[in-house]
Amino acid sequence: MYFEGTSKGKKIEVEIFEHPTEWLITLNDGELKETHAVKKWDYQRMDDAISFLFENTSYMINVHGEGVKYNVYTRGSYREIPLHNDESLLHESLKGGGGLTGGDSLSSGMPGKIVDILVAEGDEVKADQPVLIMEAMKMENEMRASRDCVIKEIKVEKGQSVESGSVLIVYGDK
């Protein structure tokens, strides 16, 4: 199977072939291409975690997520890894999930209340500029623009309660 993924903002091509006793996995980030033969013996699913002996380094791993995004946890660290191919993208779109959209809007990661909106439609904003303040988990959180853009549409009002995943502001290009 072939996947396209992202790790630390870098595009990675992943090819994986399953054999009875091992996986052959090729990682290619454009500069470096390496193939790893991961023995199933070295990647064992236990009740509570996956034990992964990678080049003799012992990782106790938990993986959550499915479809096109995987969250991998180990050694107090974690990584969100978007990983997809045509088939998984199709699965996601049929499921009604958003797939890989985003970046063109600001959405709420959790339920909360809009305390203040700091921009107006048509405003030009810089990346990292605060655009609205949302209250969630007892904190007022400043939400910032992800890139230089124009505020195309504001979908919420001051005082409004929003659900997790709601689109709050739509960005447009200058």
Partner 1 sequence: MFKKVLIANRGEIALRVIRACREMGIPNAAVYSNADRQSLHVLLADEAYFVGPPPSRESYLNVENLMKAIKKSGADAVHPGYGFLSENADFARLLKENGITFVGPSPESIELMGDKVQARKTMMDAGVPTVPGSKGAVTDLEELTRVVNEIGYPVIIKAAAGGGGKGMRIVKRPEDLELSYNAAKSEAMNYFSNDVVYVERFIQNPKHIEIQVFGDNHGNAVHLFERECSIQRRHQKLIEESPSIAVPEEVRRRMGEVAVTATKAIGYSGAGTFEFIFDNETKEFFFMEMNTRLQVEHPVTEMVTGYDLVKEQLNVAAGKKLSFKQEDITQNGHAIEVRVCAEDPETYLPSPGKIERCRHPQGPFIRVDSYAYPQYEVPIYYDPMVAKLIAWGKTRQDAIDRLQRALAEFTLSGIKTNIVLLRSILEQEKFIDGTYTTQFLEKDFKNRRDLFHFVDDRAFLIAAAIEAHNDLKNRSVEKMTDKSRWKDFGRIGALR
Phi/psi of residue 88, each to 5°?
-70, -35
Residues whose CB falls within 8 Å of the CB of residue 56, separated by 6 or more in sequence, listed in order: none
Question: Applying CB under 8 A, which residues contact partner 1?
Answer: 1, 3, 5, 7-8, 12, 14, 16, 18, 23, 25, 27, 34, 36, 38, 43, 48-50, 52, 54, 57, 59-64, 66-67, 70-79, 81, 83, 85, 87-88, 90-91, 109-112, 115-116, 135-141
Distance of CA 66 to the CA centre of its chain: 11
- With 0-12 / 13-18 / 19 or more C-beta atoms within 10 angstroms meaning exposed / middle / buried, residue 116 is middle
Identity at 9, one-letter amino acid code: G
CB of 149 to partner 1, least distance (A): 18
Nearer to partner 1, 105 or 141 (CB): 141
Rounded CA separation 20/30 (Å): 29
Nearer to partner 1, 38 or 170 (CB): 38
CB of 89 to partner 1, least distance (A): 11
Nearer to partner 1, 37 or 124 (CB): 37
CB of 43 to partner 1, least distance (A): 6
